[in-house]
Amino acid sequence: MAGAIIENMSTKKLVILGVILLLFQVFAFMVGGLIAPSPKIAVHYLATKCVDTAKHRQETKWFMPWGPNKCDKIRSFDEATAKKIEANNIVFAVHIPLPNKQMSPWFQFFLAILQFDIAFKVYNQIEDGAMVTIDVGLAYRDDTVSEWTEMAHSFEQRKLSCNFTTAKTFENEGRYYECDLLPFMEVGSIAHKYYLLNIRLPVNERKKVNVGIGEIKDIRLVGIHQNVGFTKVWFAMKTFLTPSILIIMIWYWRRITLMSRPPVLLEKVIFALGISMTFINIPVEWFSFGFNWTWMPLFGDIRQGIFYSMLLSFWIIFCGEHLMDQMERNRFSVYWKQVGPVIFGSFCLFIFDMYERGVQLTNPFYSIWASDVGTELAMAFIIVAGICACLYFLFLCFMVFQVFRNISGKRSSLPAMSKARHLHYEGLIFRFKFLMLVTLTCAAMTVIFFIISQVNEGHWHWGEHTVQVNSAFFTGIYGMWNLYVFAIMFLYAPSHERYGDEQSSGQCITGDAGIYKMTGKEAQE
């Protein structure tokens, strides 16, 4: 076996390949920057105050804020007081989407954030640590005349975090508190055209339910869903890239199996990397148009977690295989100290994700951010994950530095060779160093993307500081991963060409799997 394609391909062909991959990378960024709109869009809703006139509550009754069957409405709580309407008989109704619009599977998900408009009253102030108890129901239908079908119902609690920036005097009564946004609901699949939220704030003074929460004037919702234009671009990229990576993966493994020797560790890991890339590429999101799969966000997180763990493990083994001596190389057990923490971290990510998204499969109103303990745990997790990602990148930089130093130490054998051999191996070393720098750049971009994604996941919890991820960043990073995996499988596939009388045995300059080898005779020349 003469070695890998990266050894034997001519410099001209390699340059052409590099330019083509670079053009595709630029195109991936341009698709997001020039074609795709912002990944997410926010729509603001104001809840309508409906009056439940029934003496006994009917669980099957739904209150519509507008339309032919609209509810009996009041404009303010002062009107309710004048009409002697109790707080328990007031229902806040929100129709999703806005009038004359429809929800679509292109939205992929729907995230609702809650905001209370609370007026200051001297004798009805917000107490410290005040908790709002919410009786909320969610229903759906697919036309404007059918009856509403209940989708979920729950009693939830949310802690108020409000500030009053002026003096708490009678002169300032009626001014509004500045309250933080509260996580409220997340639906993982948009399978219906219309949704309806009915929200009640039950009051029970004896049990201290909804007491000391101030004078709530209105309830507002911010609905967030994926932008239709971005979804179409994202689906198109996945549909195109899936067969591309699948074909190169099959071609790569066929070349490996044609060899007379069994595959080495690096070749197996490259193949596993191709499988994980194919797994995350498969556009299963197309099924959201025919099936109500609310577990799709959880499944997407699992796929991304598998790819992250495989990619990070690959980089460690990729560098390590060019540092180990012949006795230690090609054994996965050598890397358990480095790969073990990556797998453990990925498992922790899975447990954390299951704790929230897993519960949301049955209760879309559940949120880990709803409690103080959950908020502190989630914030700590984001910070620790970011720190670990940075430490991993520093460790990878150290490994690459060791590889470069190892290569420099073995370059002392090159001057003794003939001029043709000397130039040939100098070119191989340059190719490998360049590939290592590309790997380091890809790792840096991946770490940055991971940190920003984690921060963006809970962007409404950071007060005034929000992180907006541009579509170009999403499409660019996603394209970079595919191009990198494509390049690795292509360049490290066994080559059918030979360079002189070079054989697969001999002294290794940079690594295993037939990469950059010198025969013993050449090393002594």
Region 372-377 average pLDDT: 83
pLDDT score recorded for residue 462? 42
Query: Rounded to 5, what percent of the chain is helix, strand, coil?
Result: 50, 20, 30
Listed residues 191, 226, 261: the one ending a domain = 226
Same domain for 161 and 299? no
φ, ψ (nearest 5 deg) of residue 420 = -65, -45
User: Any idea which of 76-90, 314-328, 384-398, 474-488 has the lowest mean pLDDT?
Assistant: 314-328
pLDDT score recorded for residue 505? 36
Region 63-85 average pLDDT: 87
First-residue to last-residue Cα distance in the chain? 23
pLDDT band at 95 (very low <50, low <70, confident <90, very high): very high
- Mean pLDDT, rounded, of the chain: 84
Task: Tally the domains of the chain.
Answer: 2
Same domain for 167 and 308? no
Same domain for 401 and 478? yes
pLDDT score recorded for residue 410? 67
pLDDT band at 65 (very low <50, low <70, confident <90, very high): very high
Tokens of residue 358, six digits: 């897993």
Task: Please report, for residues 8, 106, 482, the alpha-carbon distance to residue 229 in angstroms, rounded to integers and kept in the order given.
Answer: 44, 9, 22
Same domain for 27 and 65? no
User: Any idea which of 42-56, 400-414, 427-441, 496-510 has the lowest mean pLDDT?
Assistant: 496-510
Region 175-191 average pLDDT: 91
515, part of any domain: no
518, part of any domain: no
437, part of any domain: yes
pLDDT score recorded for residue 145? 87
CATH of the domain at 220: 2.60.120
Share of the chain above pLDDT 70, in %: 86
Same domain for 445 and 354? yes
d(CA 242, CA 159): 45
Region 64-87 average pLDDT: 87
Share of the chain above pLDDT 90, in %: 42
Region 139-143 average pLDDT: 94
User: Any idea which of 19-28, 82-91, 220-229, 315-324 has the lowest mean pLDDT?
Assistant: 315-324
pLDDT score recorded for residue 22? 94
269, part of any domain: yes
User: Any idea which of 30-34, 157-161, 368-372, 500-504 has the lowest mean pLDDT?
Assistant: 500-504
Same domain for 346 and 239? yes
pLDDT at position 470 over 50:
yes
pLDDT at position 208 over 60:
yes
pLDDT score recorded for residue 460? 43
Same domain for 336 and 480? yes
Beta carbons of 471 and 37 less than 8 angstroms apart: yes
pLDDT at position 233 over 90:
yes
pLDDT at position 1 over 90:
no
507, part of any domain: no
pLDDT score recorded for residue 425? 66
Listed residues 226, 258, 282: the one ending a domain = 226
Q: What's the half-sphere exposure (Cβ side, CA atoms, 13 Å) at 513?
A: 27
Listed residues 226, 253, 274: the one ending a domain = 226
pLDDT at position 523 over 50:
no
Same domain for 352 and 488? yes
Q: How many C-beta atoms surround the C-beta of residue 222 within 10 A?
A: 16
When comparing pLDDT for 148 and 502, which is higher? 148
When comparing pLDDT for 277 and 464, which is higher? 277
Same domain for 411 and 275? yes
Range of the domain at 125: 40-226
pLDDT score recorded for residue 69? 86
pLDDT band at 432 (very low <50, low <70, confident <90, very high): confident
pLDDT at position 521 over 60:
no
Q: What is the dihedral of CA 511, 516, 519, 521, to 10 degrees?
A: -110
523, part of any domain: no
- Ranked by mean pLDDT, the top range of 59-63, 170-174, 330-334 is 170-174
pLDDT score recorded for residue 61? 86
CATH of the domain at 401: 1.20.1070
Closest CA to 350 of 306, 407, 314: 306
pTM of the full structure: 0.83
pLDDT at position 137 over 90:
yes
pLDDT score recorded for residue 20? 95
Same domain for 371 and 382? yes
Same domain for 342 and 407? yes
pLDDT band at 510 (very low <50, low <70, confident <90, very high): very low
Pairing of strands 90-96, 194-200: antiparallel
Same domain for 412 and 489? yes
pLDDT score recorded for residue 418? 61
73, part of any domain: yes
pLDDT at position 468 over 60:
no
504, part of any domain: no
